[in-house]
Structure 1
């Protein structure tokens, strides 16, 4: 005999509690989420929750939702259980804001139209070339262990050659292989910066959706931008030299797509040299130019070792490889390499060998040509759909590279619930609030991941949601 639907929910929650996966103090999913999980209406969920409350396992708490208050063992009279939930807020690293956590969870939902993801579509992934390289690396494989602290030397030489073609002349000894740009930022925050330091950065910025610097006790200070990039005359240090650092994404900025112009780059470097303000240059989007090659990196004009340069294959090839790099003064790279060894004892040897083959074989540059062609088609599709469906409600700039269009909803339309309403309609996008954009009128739309048809459908749905958002 088939169990009632509410009983399936009861059994599911009891199972989670009895296994210790949902410990005492854990908040269980919302009624809406459970209803969606089990494809039932809210009244069925409420019936299940009421039974669990009667059993003494859960309890509704004001401002906290529904909380696990006991487990099956405590109800059987055993000793009280350790409450790990009392400890989850004690660590020094802060949690992501709730919206970011929700986005991270939703990005694995294949039923949503993904206008949020800052990565390439599976349609652009070079599957045959990757299979060929994996086979080649496998055929040449010998027993391998840990790599040297800075990463595989052949990969670092390949990165050195790659960077030379982009204006940066650096030897392999000044390159550290990392597991993506985010690890680079983490190593910098724990190894090079003092607690209480100021981190200057564009506002809005990708870093505001992270906690990597704030968790180390540093203060983020937003600097406004215009169409040429960060406004240098707005940088104002108050804590004395040596206590601040500048973080910037000058090429196809996340989330706005802005490209810092050459004269602005020169102005920024001159200011930072004069004020002894070190720079972190996050250049992971550089190779995603669509119209023309962007100005050379800040690092290419750095003759004093004041710029730490971050690059990655995650945006251009595959985030699954987990391969990026940091370029800097040799003494700084030595320090970061030591911290990386303490953290994970080096990035995957196999991934490093695969990345080396991509960069040294010429296949990577060939792949980039395909990527740029595809991004041009996708950008055109997105702009045509925006002009057709959203021009009455919003404005935007045309990006010359990268994945993102930074959309400003006109003030006449209140978009406070836009993210939630879009998600309920099967559309995932990034609200400007996670990048510290205060007006609540911006969204970041990605044309890199969704299919061509999904881009068209998603933008049409977005226009309907904005139109009806006050209903």
Structure 2
């Protein structure tokens, strides 16, 4: 019941309370709000529907009179009846128990808030890890579909590993990164998250331990946890994941895989050094510890090209390499890829066919055109310049307004600044207070449950004006909460 796109029409001759009553009654009678569903408090409903609380009270009283809802001490107001329970003595399914029994873990409450509020039109999104709509190449993508192409646009299913033209294009693109592979070693996926889901389903067993950098994006999703696996964080320094700690942990925990983002790590934007990359690969080779390398941000460097991916120096087939167009061309395309040994790709492509029968053929066609036409490199050139400008602006704002309350890194690429508060402020309360002020932030405990003093600030989505207004307001809020 978290999303209410409907609002009563003030110009309608039907009274507002009657419109709200009819809307809620329809939700209940249609089975969208099942028995046991909790109705939000009166004040919350008044805010949602933008009416007086007295209007909500009248609407709820009518639903109570109809025998559809009831207020219970300690539980609030819940749905107690619907069409089926009224006309038959047989109770309807208890969908609440089904929801509780599902094997996939729910998102953290804060993340559910973020996912909801990101679509509010009046919010300043200082948290969002995607390009601003004004930076996305929407018009050029339209042109790609309209202009002629040597590749056939098919609306049929593709082969299990994905469109062959796209896989060839990805092989050519990865050569520039020092990765030499053939199309048989490439699987097209619907974004990086699907690649992780396929790995959890096809390569690991319940109880497996996944090592990862901490803090890490991986803890903000439940892909491995929901499959019955354990996450084990390995601390980082300015050079990347700490091999000395990983070595000690490996002695006591039998890790199945290591997940890492070497280039502009999410959320810290740390760029793993060349020496640390070699140390990591040497250690994992000796320990026979496979690596999932997530290179989602590798193209988004500002000053000079980043170091070669780990996969470029992998000679043992140790690494499963993930790439994506979500951070450069647009998350709506839902196109990424997984590179690995052929037996692994064969296994995971079979599972993918069982789950979605292939990624969007339209999106695969578009990405093929971007990669083969030379447009992608041209686009990256402009995006890097614009992101660097946003980064520089954000750093300047932080220096002007946050120097007495926080410290931060200066990223060499990617989307994020890892902001450390040096004052006593609850980041959970800060999140909610900022939301009331129309500002959306990502508290550090999303990425490390023990983190109580970091924020991930994104400069990729909000406009320059919003960055300035939002960060100024956030600084004032932090200082006010610290008094």
For the 8 Å contact 2:153–2:365, the answer to whether it is kept is no
Could you say if the C-alpha distance between residues 240 and 406 of structure 1 is closer, same or farther in structure 2, counting changes exceeding 3 Å? closer
- Distance in 2 between residues matched to 1:238 and 1:51, nearest whole Å: 65
CA contact (8 A) 2:210 2:259 kept: yes
Whole-Å separation in 2 of the counterparts to 1:302 and 1:432: 32
- Equivalent-residue separation in structure 2 for 1:6 and 1:468 (angstroms): 39
How many residues align structurally? 470
Distance 1:137 1:46 in 2: 60
Q: CA deviation at 1:227?
A: 0.7
Partners of 1:278 and 1:103 in 2: how far apart?
A: 33
Residues 298-342 of structure 1: CA deviation (Å, up to 9, x unaligned):
111110011000000011111111110000011111111111111
Task: After superposition, give the CA deviation of every residue in 1:167-201 in whole Å (9 maximum; x if it has no partner).
Answer: 11111110000000000000000100111110001
1:68 matched to 2:79? The reply is: yes
C-alpha displacement of 1:6: 3.8
Q: How does 1:166-177 map to 2 (within 5 A)?
A: 166-177=177-188
User: Is 64-73 or 113-122 further displaced after alignment?
Assistant: 64-73
Give the secondary-structure state (helix, strand or coil) at the position aligned to 1:85: helix
**Aligned equivalent of 1:200:** 211
| Corresponding residue of 2:230 | 219
Which residue, out of 241, 258, 264, partners 1:230? 241
Counterpart selection for 2:293 from 277, 281, 287 = 281
Check 1:351–1:196 CA distance in 2 against 1; reply closer, same or farther (3 A cut): same
Matches of 1:139 and 1:20 in 2, distance apart? Answer: 50
Query: Aligned equivalents of 2:335 and 2:148: distance in 1?
Result: 16
Which is worse superposed, 161-170 or 416-425?
416-425
**SS class of match (2:35):** coil
Which runs of structure 2 are paired with 1:2-401 in the superposition (5 Å)?
2-31=13-42, 33-42=44-53, 44-46=55-57, 48-60=59-71, 66-76=77-87, 79-136=90-147, 141=152, 144-235=155-246, 236-237=249-250, 243-401=255-413
Contact 1:184 1:326 in 2 (8 A): yes
Q: Distance in 1 between matches of 2:340 and 2:43?
A: 49
Could you tell me how far 1:271 is from its partner in structure 2? 0.8
How far apart in 1 are the matches of 2:119 and 2:452? 26
Distance 2:150 2:63 in 1: 56
Could you tell me how far apart the structure 2 residues matched to 1:60 and 1:429 are?
A: 35
The reply on whether 1:402 has 2:411 as its aligned counterpart is no
- Encode CA deviations 1:381-430: one digit per residue, 9 max, x unaligned: 11111111122221111111111111111133344411111111111111
User: What's the secondary structure of 1:310's corresponding residue?
Assistant: strand
Structure 1 residues 44, 348: CA separation in 2 closer, same or farther (over 3 Å shift)? same
Q: CA deviation at 1:469?
A: 2.6
TM-superposed deviation, 1:164: 0.5
- TM-superposed CA distance for 1:34, in Å, is 2.2
Q: Tell me how far 1:115 sits from its aligned partner.
A: 1.1
My pick for the range that moved more, 98-107 or 58-67, is 58-67
Does the CA contact (< 8 Å) of 2:264 and 2:271 recur in 1?
A: yes
Deviation string, structure 1 residues 29-55 (Cα, Å, up to 9, x no partner): 454542332113445445544553454
Q: In 2, are the aligned partners of 1:177 and 1:323 still within 8 Å (CA)?
A: yes
8 A Cα contact 2:428 2:443, kept in partner: no
> Structure 2 vs 1, CA of residues 32 and 441 (structure 1 numbering), >3 Å: closer, same or farther?
farther
Distance 1:31 1:286 in 2: 48
RMSD across aligned positions (CA): 2.1
Name structure 2 gaps, 5 residues minimum. Answer: 1-11
Q: Spell out, residue by residue over 1:264-309, the C-alpha distance to the aligned partner (whole angstroms, 9 max, x if none).
A: 1111111111111110001101111112211110111110011000
Q: Distance in 1 between matches of 2:73 and 2:285?
A: 53
Shift of 1:127: 2.9
Contact 1:415 1:466 (8 Å CA) reproduced: no
Residues 5 and 211 of structure 1: is their aligned pair in 2 closer, same or farther, counting only changes over 3 Å? Answer: same
Q: 1:393·1:413 contact (CA, 8 Å) conserved in 2?
A: no
Deviation at 1:133, TM superposition (A): 0.6
Q: CA deviation at 1:60?
A: 4.7
Change (3 A) 1:30 1:199: farther
- Asked if 1 retains the 8 angstrom alpha-carbon contact of 2:423 and 2:482, the reply is no
- How far apart, CA to CA, are the structure 1 residues paired with 2:88 and 2:351? 47
Q: Distance in 2 between matches of 1:142 and 1:250?
A: 35
